[in-house]
Amino acid sequence: MPQRDLRSGIRSSLGKRDIDGKRPGNRTSQTYNRFFEGYTEVRQQKDHGTSIQRVYTGTWYEQDLKLFRQILLRLLYLGLWLGSAALLAVGSLMPLPCNRCWYTVAAQAIAIAGFLWMASPMISYLTLYGRMTIGAYKRSAMQLAARSIWASAGMLLTLLVSFIAMLMTGEGLGGEEAMLLLMDLLASALLFIIQWRERNVPWRLTASSAEASRSLEGEEPLTIEVDAEDIEGEESHEN
């Protein structure tokens, strides 16, 4: 495909986007749009028909940390997540009257759901290094920070319901009961640390450049400029 056609196609696609970065009349699924967020679709006419090639023209996200520190950070998050899950498991299996109340079991089920909800962004976070697209950033770092705070709240709910169950059953607050409440509190704190630490991780944002078009075989690199206002908007969204 001639270089001028490629440039015309990309600029035309960029020009058709609205404020949210989506093209009007796009009827593709929300999952498709989320997965390819930040990409520009370029239609190319070939002998056998029309093909679509996607060029990333969004902002690149990269942790402003050395690789060793990135690995340590991921190991820390994994340890905090598994440690809090272990505390919930041990506490819920303690042979106490409060653990046999249906509302305590319901609260524990909500807490377990919170842990499972964190699994997808946790796996993405553990496997992604270096530069990330906006979609990869949202699927990993952003979702991990958001879901960890909800999981932490789920553990606080379990603590509160367990304490109410102790009062309702008349078992009092003995040594084992105090240990159960302490484990729930500690599990909530471990999950909160994930959210707090991730919010303070330095990220470096880079506008897309000629590197985006190098994936188009046989074409000369094409610079795609991104307005500074768009980058500032991404930074404010992150904070």
pLDDT at 112 over 90: yes
- Indicate whether this model's pTM tops 0.85: no
Position 22 in a domain: yes
**Same domain (yes/no): 98, 125:** yes
- Per-residue confidence (pLDDT) for residue 157, from 0 to 100: 96
Indicate if the alpha-carbon torsion angle 142, 123, 84, 156 is positive or negative: positive
**Same domain (yes/no): 191, 156:** yes
Q: Which two tokens stand for residue 202?
A: 């330095």
Position 238 in a domain: no
- As for how many domains the chain has, the answer is 2
Overall average pLDDT of the 92-118 stretch: 94
Confidence of residue 173 (pLDDT cuts 50, 70, 90): confident
**Same domain (yes/no): 186, 160:** yes
**Same domain (yes/no): 110, 84:** yes
**Same domain (yes/no): 50, 93:** no
Confidence of residue 102 (pLDDT cuts 50, 70, 90): very high
Position 87 in a domain: yes
- Per-residue confidence (pLDDT) for residue 36, from 0 to 100: 76
* C-alpha dihedral, 205 to 207 to 209 to 214, nearest 10°: 60
Domain of 22, in residue numbers: 3-59+207-230
**Same domain (yes/no): 7, 93:** no
**Same domain (yes/no): 132, 73:** yes
pLDDT at 128 over 80: yes
- Per-residue confidence (pLDDT) for residue 234, from 0 to 100: 46
CATH number of 100's domain:
1.20.120
Q: Which two tokens stand for residue 87?
A: 């505390």
- Per-residue confidence (pLDDT) for residue 103, from 0 to 100: 94
**Same domain (yes/no): 72, 184:** yes
pLDDT at 126 over 70: yes
Overall average pLDDT of the 168-177 stretch: 81
**Same domain (yes/no): 170, 110:** yes
**Same domain (yes/no): 27, 90:** no
pLDDT in tens, 175-234: 899 999 999 999 999 999 999 999 999 999 888 764 444 444 444 333 333 333 443 444
- Per-residue confidence (pLDDT) for residue 129, from 0 to 100: 84
State the average pLDDT for the chain.
78
3-state secondary structure 51-108: EEEEEECCCEEEECCCHHHHHHHHHHHHHHHHHHHHHHHHHHCCCCHHHHCHHHHHHH
- Per-residue confidence (pLDDT) for residue 28, from 0 to 100: 55
Position 236 in a domain: no
- Per-residue confidence (pLDDT) for residue 35, from 0 to 100: 72
pLDDT in tens, 31-85: 777 777 778 877 777 777 677 777 888 889 999 999 999 999 999 999 999 999 9
**Pick from 19-23, 31-35, 100-104: least confident:** 19-23
CB 13 within 8 A of CB 40: yes
b (16+ CB within 10 A) / e for 157-175: bbbebbbebbeeeeeeeee
**Same domain (yes/no): 189, 217:** no
**Nearest CA among 189, 193, 184 for reference residue 88:** 184
User: Which residue is associated with the tokens 């105090």?
Assistant: 178
**Same domain (yes/no): 76, 46:** no
- Per-residue confidence (pLDDT) for residue 143, from 0 to 100: 94
Position 237 in a domain: no
